[in-house]
Amino acid sequence: MDEDKFTYVNRLFSECYKQWKSDLHQCFQEFDDPHVTLEEGCPKELEDRQDSWVWLYGHFSDATYVKKAKANKINREKKTLLHHSGLRPFSYRMEARRKEGSKFSEIDVFADVYVRPGNELTQSLHATMVEKRQVVLQKFASHLPLDTPIKSVDPPEDVGFHIVTEMLDQTFDRRPGTYCRGMGNARRRETGASSFAQSKTKVTALT
């Protein structure tokens, strides 16, 4: 693998490990009594490794860990967007959408992982993205024969990406560096890219 793919795989493994550890911590938090936690809180995957559960109990009870966990919770509450995609990488979701025929896979994936009933902000953002998508299709259709159906229009590959990132940059202010809000680890900006016309992206995806 080249360096980008190697970095991507390492990041994915790290995220899987953190999710696994978080699941174990939730088992730990289900009980208030320490003795009950040790005797009844052990998850099934550690039933034959009781010593590991005893170690984890001490780890989760440690003052340093408790302090860090509280800080992480505060940081999560400050997030402007919370996705609901689980551990499946955004790049996999986008590739699946493309195979289904999506011409704006980033917009479709935004709807899949962020838009939920009652979340007025993400619903509004997605509605605006869909409007911009339609404007783009109509613009490109205007250069084709009048009887060309909209569904036959093929816009440039990265138009959906630019619509999503510009909408989120305008709403939340652009984050520094190469990070693209709303794209998970699937897309990165090249340093210095800023506008719709000039922005160049580097795709880090494992296909």
What is the Cα gyration radius of the chain? 22
Altogether, the residues listed in the chain come to a count of 207
Question: Average pLDDT in the 72-87 region?
Answer: 66
Mean pLDDT of 33-51: 83
What does the alpha-carbon distance between residue 58 and residue 186 come to, in Å, rounded to a whole number?
A: 36
Higher per-residue pLDDT: 199 or 108: 108
Residues 150-161 pLDDT 10s = 778 888 888 888
Those residues with Cβ within 8 angstroms of residue 126's Cβ, 6 or more apart along the chain or in another chain? 107, 110, 111, 114, 115
- The 10s digit of each residue's pLDDT in 131-147 is 999 998 888 888 888 77
Question: Which of the pair, 62 or 4, is modelled with greater confidence?
Answer: 62
* Residue-wise DSSP of the chain: --HHHHHHHHHHHHHHHHHHHHHHHHHHHT-SSHHHHHHH---GGGTT-HHHHHHHHHHHHSHHHHHHHHHHHHHHHT-S-----TTS-HHHHHHHHHHTT-S-HHHHHHHHHT--TT-HHHHHHHHHHHHHHHHHHHHHHTTS-TT--GGG----TTHHHHHHHHHHHHHH-PPSTTB-TTSTTSEEEPTT--STTT--EEE----
Handedness of CA 196, 199, 200, 206 (dihedral sign): negative
pLDDT class of 198 with cuts at 50, 70, 90: very low
